[in-house]
Amino acid sequence: MPNQILQENLASIAFGVAASFDPVDDGTNFTDDLITIDYALTAGAPTLNGAARQSIKADLGTPRAPKYALYAAVDFTGETPTATGKVDYYWAPSTNATQANGNIAGNSGADAACPDGALGSITLAEFLEQCIPIGSLKTHDGASVQNGFVGYLLPPTQWGQLIEVNNSGDAFEADDVEHHAVLVPIVDEVQG
């Protein structure tokens, strides 16, 4: 009998705001148990078109999965993102578990506007060039929470920050009720 490759089902890692996370429609909720947020990633007050947010530094665990699928849900202030808009996602890897240590461009490792606390006068565009691109959540012009598959992450280290860049044409809703992103671990298991 030939070997079979199966997928192990490991716990997802969710980014958002635990205190306010309560999606109205569970159809837009990507968390494992529909309520748990693991790491802070706020939508800001709000995050305007062209601006970016970063999560608090996350720990992917030991051992960690070699690959993750990213899903995201975003709500917009005016409910008017453009049909050609997108929210771009990146991973800023870190070599250290301590929040402010070992981060890309000396970043703070905090849940904040991006790039928070970075050294020197690095711009957002320069910072993103040092990060790992994951993919984009393509928006449509419907007046609703926008959600979907973003792309894949192959993290080189155990720690890092999720970065989201708003290029949707509308500002993020600041209440953080629906806003979240989820990394789903992908682990292959060979059975013979």
Rama region for 25: left / alpha / beta (φ>0; ψ in -120 to 50; rest) = beta
Instruction: Give me the residues paired with residue 51 across strands.
Output: none
The DSSP output letter for 103 is: B
For the stretch 105-142, pLDDT in tens is: 999 999 999 999 999 999 999 999 999 999 999 999 88
pLDDT, position 63 = 87
Q: How many percent of the chain have pLDDT more than 70?
A: 94
pLDDT at 191 over 70: no
Taking the model in full, what pTM does it have?
0.93
- Which residues contact residue 125 at a Cβ distance below 8 angstroms, ignoring those fewer than 6 apart? none
Residue with tokens 């007050």: 45
CA atoms of 131 and 93, how far apart (whole Å)? 7
The DSSP output letter for 32 is: S
pLDDT at 7 over 70: no
Tokens of 43: 């939508």
Stronger pLDDT, 88 or 25, i.e. the higher one: 88
- Mean pLDDT over the full length of the chain: 92
CA atoms of 179 and 147, how far apart (whole Å)? 9
pLDDT, position 57 = 98
